[in-house]
A = this chain, B = another copy of it.
Amino acid sequence: MAQQHLDPPTDSAAGTGPRAAPAPLDEGGAPIGDALAGYLRAQATEFLRSLRQHRETGAAASGAGESGAAARSLRRSARRISGSLHTFRPLLDADWSEGVRPELAWLSGTLAREHACAARLERLLGALNRLSGTAALPVQAGRAPAPKGNLTVGAAKAGALLDRQLTLARTRAHSAALQALGSSRFHAVADSVALLASEVPLAPSADSADLRPLAAAAQDRLTDAVTALPLVAAGHPYNAEALVHGLSADTAPQPQDAPWHQVRLLLRLHRYASEVLHHGECPVDVRLLGAGQALNRHRDAAEAASAAASAARTPRIAPATAYALGVLHADQRHEVEAARFAFQQTWQKEAVRTP
């Protein structure tokens, strides 16, 4: 199993002298509470840096360029802080950490929405292009170019409808993000993170506590959730499971997707816990990386399928538009099924040494 070693973060909290910063390992070499404090300080510093950058580059650019990169970086550290507060909860001041976690979740959720709308639109328009197949159509001897018929009009109209709906959603998400960043609620979060950057509110005697049992518990929660997935079915290609309720009257997100989304979150928490343990020299586990990518694809395809179904409920659309949206919905649900298959294949591979 190939492994790479990431460069240590430049603002690593692993001290060089015994006094400047406490050593993050105990005498037996176990990562201890101080390593957690170092990780949280580094993420908080990154959060504040991204926030400063986001303000400097101006928030007018919607999701693209430097402003977009700063927003992504902000979300990235918010997720890591929030996740670590969750996994290592017993080692932190309970009141403080219970107070700040939902606020960080609110922030990263609000900031994520604009990017998600843009990515969803890109995915759906890409799929419509692929399904129309005009670009990829091989020229065949004696075959005149196909006349533009009903269905191509349908695909074009479906694309325009999705563009309109998702661009509107994106604009709203952008305004909501701007509003959030100017709110007093946000300033309270930023103050909490600023505190974290200077002094992590550890629980009494947590600075020398072994981190490994809590990290192992996070891994166990992941393993248990994966065990509960229908992996045998997912491992049989073309099992047609993902589209089973493709025409059901229930417009809520498909209940069959929920356990997979949950594994995606638990996988992320496990990764953050590994980052804490391996602070400065985090091994990249390609198996977990592949599994995470499959679950991201699963989530993206499920949300795109849902957006296509939702667009089809727009009043007064043409039948050809609705037909194209139906094909698109089914296509994305098959992507969901393909992602589950990919996850199963990746997960099956021999587990590499994990901490």
Taking the complex as formed, is A318 at the interface, i.e. its CB lies under 8 A from any CB of chain B? yes
Taking the complex as formed, is A114 at the interface, i.e. its CB lies under 8 A from any CB of chain B? no
Contact indicator B249/A146 (Cβ below 8 Å) = yes
Rounded to whole Å, the gap between the CB of A42 and the closest CB of chain B is 39
Contact indicator A149/B319 (Cβ below 8 Å) = no
- Mask, A118-137, CB within 8 Å of B = 1, is 00000000001011111011
Question: A147, A149, A318, A334: which has the most chain B beta carbons within 10 Å?
Answer: A334
Q: How far is the CA of A323 from the CA of B337 in the complex (A)?
A: 20
Contact indicator B147/A249 (Cβ below 8 Å) = yes
Question: How many subunits of this chain does the assembly comprise?
Answer: 2
Taking the complex as formed, is A94 at the interface, i.e. its CB lies under 8 A from any CB of chain B? no
Which residue in B148, B309, B319 is a CB contact (below 8 Å) of A322?
A: B319
Contact indicator B238/A338 (Cβ below 8 Å) = yes
Taking the complex as formed, is A214 at the interface, i.e. its CB lies under 8 A from any CB of chain B? no
Rounded to whole Å, the gap between the CB of A151 and the closest CB of chain B is 5
Which residue in B137, B149, B243, B245 is a CB contact (below 8 Å) of A137?
A: B245
Rounded to whole Å, the gap between the CB of A148 and the closest CB of chain B is 5
Residues of B contacting A107 with CB < 8 Å? none
Residues of B contacting A280 with CB < 8 Å? none
Q: How far is the CA of A128 from the CA of B154 in the complex (A)?
A: 22
Contact indicator A132/B248 (Cβ below 8 Å) = yes
**Given known contacts A128-B247, A152-B247, A238 and B240 CB-to-CB distance under 8 angstroms:** no
Residues of B contacting A334 with CB < 8 Å? 238, 240, 243, 330, 334
Residues of B contacting A131 with CB < 8 Å? 243-248
Residues of B contacting A268 with CB < 8 Å? none
**Given known contacts A136-B244, A137-B248, A248-B134, A237 and B155 CB-to-CB distance under 8 angstroms:** no
Q: How far is the CA of A182 from the CA of B243 in the complex (A)?
A: 47
Contact indicator A151/B247 (Cβ below 8 Å) = yes
Rounded to whole Å, the gap between the CB of A300 and the closest CB of chain B is 15
Contact indicator B149/A247 (Cβ below 8 Å) = no
Q: What residue in chain B is nearest A324 (Cβ atoms)?
A: B247
Contact indicator A151/B330 (Cβ below 8 Å) = no
Q: What residue in chain B is nearest A130 (Cβ atoms)?
A: B244
Taking the complex as formed, is A327 at the interface, i.e. its CB lies under 8 A from any CB of chain B? yes
Taking the complex as formed, is A204 at the interface, i.e. its CB lies under 8 A from any CB of chain B? no
- Mask, A260-295, CB within 8 Å of B = 1, is 000000000000000000000000000000000000
Which 9 A-B residue pairings sit nearest by Cβ, starting from the closest?
A326-B326, A237-B237, A330-B330, A238-B338, A319-B322, A149-B249, A152-B249, A146-B250, A133-B245
| A residues at B contact (CB < 8 Å) | 128, 130-134, 136-137, 140, 143, 146-152, 154-155, 237-238, 240, 243-251, 255, 309, 312-313, 317-331, 334-335, 337-338, 341-342
| 30 pairs from A and B in contact (CB 8 Å cutoff) | A131-B243, A132-B247, A132-B248, A133-B244, A133-B248, A137-B248, A143-B255, A147-B249, A148-B249, A149-B250, A149-B251, A151-B309, A152-B247, A155-B247, A237-B238, A238-B334, A238-B337, A238-B341, A238-B342, A247-B324, A247-B327, A312-B320, A319-B322, A322-B322, A322-B323, A323-B326, A324-B326, A326-B327, A326-B328, A326-B329
